[in-house]
Amino acid sequence: MAAPKSPGISTISTCTPEKARGDHVFKIEGYSLWKGLGVSKVIQSAPFAVGGYDWRLSYYPDGYTEASKDHVAVFLELLSKDAVTRRSQIEGSAYLYIPNDILLIKCDITVIKLKEAQMRKIGMSFNIQVPPSDLLHNLRSLMDAREESDVSFKVKDEFFTAHKIVLAMRSPVFKAELYGPMRDKCGQGHIITIEDMEPAVFKALLHFVYTDELPPLDDLHDDDEEEIVRHLLVAADRFVMERMKLMCERKLSEFPDAKTVAATLALAD
């Protein structure tokens, strides 16, 4: 006995960063008065919070070092404990306005927090082979199960049995006849006579009802094959079976001659 196959477990992990954005405006009045304060002398904003961290702007009116004494310097500082960031000069990302000798420094901050990836199971996969559908095989078997049939047909001198529910499912005409106002005449044991149809054609019609395929016609001569397909086309039109009708039309297109078309139209009329 083969060992049972172990199921596999499928999982997925997702890392979704959290992003918070904020801005702070640092207003420094008397801009010109602060010039000459001295190199590395600082003016600092009040602490402000963005993204759960505390920040502060530091403004150096005479530069942060001797090398930068002819330029102002502005730094953004992270004040929160247990948090690390690279201190950088933000002249490129800050906006300085000096109307009426008032310096306005606006700083936009975006904080991105990387969360630990979360894992979850998405199901268990078993190596199970699913066989192809056997519905058509079952319907073929049902077609041959005469003891389970519940309706009979007489076509000339031949008799055929079938299942009302299958016929009704496949053809609205059969459905009206078997389950409509005339259904009492089609009860168990009642024989329905089919007029104006050859037994071979009705048999082929039943074959399509149960298999959704035209019966094999390869063993017929071309003229005989063409003849039965024309009659099947008329039967499909009579019982409103559109797929069968289209299949017959396609089959007849293999015999494209005026005689075939005219004869088929005459039968349909």
Q: What is the pLDDT of residue 88?
A: 46
The owner of tokens 């918070």 is 20
Average pLDDT of the residues in 84-104: 60
pLDDT at residue 90 is higher than 50: no
Do 17-114 and 135-266 fold alike per CATH? Answer: no
pLDDT at residue 138 is higher than 80: yes
Amino acid at 184: D
Q: What is the pLDDT of residue 39?
A: 87
Report the C-alpha gap between 87 and 216 in whole angstroms: 84
Q: What is the pLDDT of residue 172?
A: 94
The CATH class of 17-114 is mainly beta
Q: What is the pLDDT of residue 216?
A: 86
Distances (CA, A) of 245 to 85, 198, 233: 76, 17, 5
Q: What is the pLDDT of residue 5?
A: 54
Average pLDDT of the residues in 221-242: 88
* Contacting residues for 37 by C-beta, under 8 A, at least 6 apart: 43, 61, 62
Report the C-alpha gap between 170 and 23 in whole angstroms: 70
- In 3D, which of 198, 29, 209, 28 has the Cα closest to residue 105? 28
pLDDT at residue 259 is higher than 70: no
Average pLDDT of the residues in 32-55: 88
DSSP 8-state symbol, 205:
H
Q: What is the pLDDT of residue 111?
A: 85
pLDDT at residue 204 is higher than 60: yes
User: Bigger pLDDT: 140 or 233?
Assistant: 233
User: Bigger pLDDT: 27 or 184?
Assistant: 27
CB distance 53 to 65 below 8 Å: no
Report the C-alpha gap between 68 and 40 in whole angstroms: 10
Q: What is the pLDDT of residue 222?
A: 64
CA atoms within 13 A on the CB side of 161: 11
Strands 151-155 and 191-193, by their bridges, are parallel
Q: What is the pLDDT of residue 226?
A: 85
Q: What is the pLDDT of residue 251?
A: 87
Highest mean pLDDT range out of 44-48, 64-68, 80-84? 44-48
Per CATH, the architecture of 135-266 is what? 2-Layer Sandwich (3.30)
Q: Is 25 left (phi over 0), alpha (psi -120 to 50) or beta?
A: beta
pLDDT at residue 35 is higher than 70: yes
Lowest-pLDDT range of 8-22, 72-86, 114-128, 154-168: 114-128
**In the chain, where the domains are located:** 17-114, 135-266
- In 3D, which of 266, 259, 264, 194 has the Cα closest to residue 232? 264
Q: What is the pLDDT of residue 220?
A: 65
Q: What is the pLDDT of residue 217?
A: 78
Query: What does the DSSP assignment read for 28-52?
Result: EE-HHHHTTS-TT--EEPPPEEETT
Note the pTM of the prediction, 2 decimals.
0.49
Average pLDDT, the chain: 80
- pLDDT category at 85 given cuts 50, 70, 90 is low
Report the C-alpha gap between 241 and 239 in whole angstroms: 6
pLDDT at residue 110 is higher than 50: yes
pLDDT at residue 150 is higher than 60: yes
